[in-house]
Amino acid sequence: MDTRLMREKLRLMTELAAELLTMLPDEPTRPHLVLVKDGDEDLSFMTKPSRAREGFSIIYDRSTNDDQFIPMGTAFLEFSKKELSKMPKWFVKIYKLKGGKVAHIRQKPNGTYEIRYRRDGLNISVGSKNLADAKERFIQALCDARTKEMNDKTFFGQFAKQWLEVVKKPHIKETTYEDYIVTFRAHIFPKFGNKRLRDIKPLDVQKLLNGIEQKGSPRSAIKAYILLKALFDFALAEDLIIRNPMTIIKKPQHEVKHGQAFTIEEEKNFVAKCIASKSPCKYAYILMLFTGIRRSELSSVQFDSQWITVITGKTRKGLNDKTRKIPISPMLIPFMPFMTKENLTVKTDTLSRHFPKLAPHHHLHELRHTFITRCQECGISRELTSLWAGHRADNTVTSNVYTHFSETFQIGEIQKLRY
């Protein structure tokens, strides 16, 4: 480089350094090192007596207009809220607990910033001549190192079982929990059970869901998607994975087919088949047909002279049981002598298994559709039918808060159910 240009450059740098030094508070005069940087290029080192903070270097990076006071030797590096938000939660917790004194930074003679973290079994060291870049590298190395250490020991099957037991089971009904277990055992564990959590990629998940759909089980694919999304969300919050493989997976689509009520002729034939049948479920079916109760509610049925009381099957775990009362209809009265505990003690899976023998073109839940349909065909109001079915009539305050049907009125209305 031309000597004149070198002198001019040195003069400009000296003026810049002097200007920086005048910004410092009054302190004992001592030799002070100023490093002026322009991007990745070291322009000059200058030693000069100044009013400087004792033992500190001024680092000024013209590429970012950033200046910081870095101790000569090493010091603890501070991070902004934005930078902390990118870090694992366990590190943020330690950082705050230690008052920020966890990650060391030093400036090497060549101007490189080196950031080190040596604790909790980790040994991280990153460097860059750009401080912001060094911080980014440190954050990434921090995430990668801890995630690798933890996920080398975390297998999907082991984590999923713990997640189901600790996170899901306390807040769902036993039948729902058992249904989740079936989904994992049938579809998810065979593919992912022995894989490390961090090794499961979006493509793996998409192949799994596609395979379930191709087997003709779109509802099972939707259920698997919902469970996997919740599981990986939790794993991400626990810093067990860096990215959630579910973020780019599209939820499988399935058109829900609603049930169809029996025609009156089909209903008469069904009742006749039940009476002639030796099925252990026949009286349970008749009770469900003329009350609209769900299969899960059958075990809670109680009778008195004019009413049937059941515990609503859709109550969520942790909430108080909700009971509802259904008046005994004229259609059910002839069968009341057979509505004994012995005749109605039937497992739900037995009900489902025997039903196609008596009604091959219908599903068990369509008995409920039939009761609700007949009530409205016979002139019973939608609000009252919804009350007996355990539904909300609509979303109006008038129907759901201020409407209270008397027992006398309900018993009178149920007399309309004759056909």
Same domain? 138 vs 161:
no
Could you count the other beta carbons within 10 Å of the beta carbon of residue 174? 9
Same domain? 121 vs 181:
no
Measured torsion, CA atoms of residues 153, 157, 163, 168, in degrees rounded to the nearest 10: 180
Same domain? 23 vs 127:
yes
Same domain? 122 vs 42:
yes
pLDDT recorded at residue 397: 63
Q: Is residue 85 part of a domain?
A: yes
Same domain? 395 vs 273:
yes
Q: Name the domain count of the chain.
A: 3
Tell me how far apart the alpha carbons of residues 357 and 278 are, in angstroms, rounded to a whole number: 11
Which residues constitute the domain of residue 69? 3-150
Q: Is residue 9 part of a domain?
A: yes
Whether 56 and 76 have beta carbons less than 8 Å apart is answered as: no
CATH of the domain at 204: 1.10.150.130
pLDDT recorded at residue 92: 87
> Which structure tokens are listed for 227?
């469970």
Tell me how far apart the alpha carbons of residues 251 and 164 are, in angstroms, rounded to a whole number: 21
CATH of the domain at 363: 1.10.443.10
Same domain? 11 vs 109:
yes
Tens digit of each residue's pLDDT (9 = 90 or more) over 323-374: 999 999 999 999 999 999 999 999 988 999 999 999 999 999 999 999 999 9
In Å, how far are 126, 176, 314, 348 from 317, measured between CA atoms?
50, 10, 9, 19
Same domain? 276 vs 208:
no
* Average pLDDT by stretches of 10, the chain with 419 residues: 62 59 47 41 39 40 43 70 85 87 86 85 86 90 68 83 94 89 96 92 96 90 96 88 89 80 96 95 97 94 94 69 92 96 92 94 95 96 92 69 84 95
Q: Is residue 71 part of a domain?
A: yes
Same domain? 276 vs 407:
yes
Largest CA distance in the chain: 116
Given 150, 181, 200, the domain boundary residue is 150
Same domain? 195 vs 106:
no
Whether 413 and 326 have beta carbons less than 8 Å apart is answered as: no
Q: Is residue 255 part of a domain?
A: no
pLDDT recorded at residue 283: 97
Q: How far is CA 230 from the centre of its chain?
A: 3
Q: What is the DSSP string of 106-165?
A: EE-TTS-EEEEEEETTEEEEEEESSHHHHHHHHHHHHHHHHHHHHHTS-BHHHHHHHHII
Given 150, 178, 213, the domain boundary residue is 150
Same domain? 66 vs 96:
yes
Same domain? 275 vs 406:
yes
Given 200, 218, 237, the domain boundary residue is 237
Same domain? 139 vs 13:
yes
pLDDT recorded at residue 22: 53
Q: Is residue 210 part of a domain?
A: yes
Q: Is residue 419 part of a domain?
A: no
